Amino acid sequence: MTLVPIRPATASDIPAIAGIYAHAVIHGTASFEIEPPDEAEMMRRMRQLLDNDFPYIVAQIDGALAGYAYAGPYRARPAYRWTLEDSVYIAPHMQHRGIGRALLDRLIADSQARGFRQMIAVIGDSTLQTPSVALHAAAGFRLVGTLENVGFKHGRWLDSVLMQRPLGDGATTNPQRN
């Protein structure tokens, strides 16, 4: 596999990030959003994650942003604070080159370094998102369930596949943040 250059995301990445996400929202089923958010909203979302010490990274190839990934709170209630939900998006013309795996591996490492203990993948559309399911399985996630017909997009009902992976000590010890 070719080395994929990965770095922390910055505000200057927002136009490319917003473009990648807009394509996924408009043409795909990975996200259950119907209308893509504008750059200002994408910046607000990024800032909220970074301000709370969540990892947000990008892959850049030949000067172009090839993809991005971040981890954020799985749920808002305090008992979930050690559990993250991951998101990985790749530019359409850069897919199937190992970029998603490189981003996910780095996201896992960065999340573990921050003391998080569990990572959840909520994968939209069990029919069309089999590459995302395979990506997560290859990175050590296990299938924990499928929520059937919970989203409606592009004229059809969509499932959500739930996958989970322990980070660091997982649930074998009590959590402590560095």
pLDDT, one tens digit per residue, over 106-128 is 999 999 999 999 999 999 988 87
Report the SS3 class of residue 47.
helix
Alpha carbon distance 123, 22 (integer Å):
17
State residue 1's pLDDT score.
Answer: 45
Sign of CA pseudo-dihedral 43, 45, 47, 50: negative
* pLDDT score of 176: 77
Amino acid at 8: P
What pTM does this model have? 0.94
Side by side, which strands form the sheet with 83-90? 6-8, 56-61, 64-73, 83-90, 118-124, 156-166, 142-153
Other Cβ atoms within 10 Å of 162 Cβ, number: 17
Domains, the chain, with CATH or none: 6-166 (3.40.630.30)
- Does the pLDDT at position 2 exceed 60? no
Does the structure show a pLDDT above 80 at 102?
Answer: yes
For 32-86, the pLDDT digits (tens) are 999 999 999 999 999 999 999 999 999 999 999 999 999 999 999 999 999 999 9
Contact predicate 11/63, CB 8 Å: no
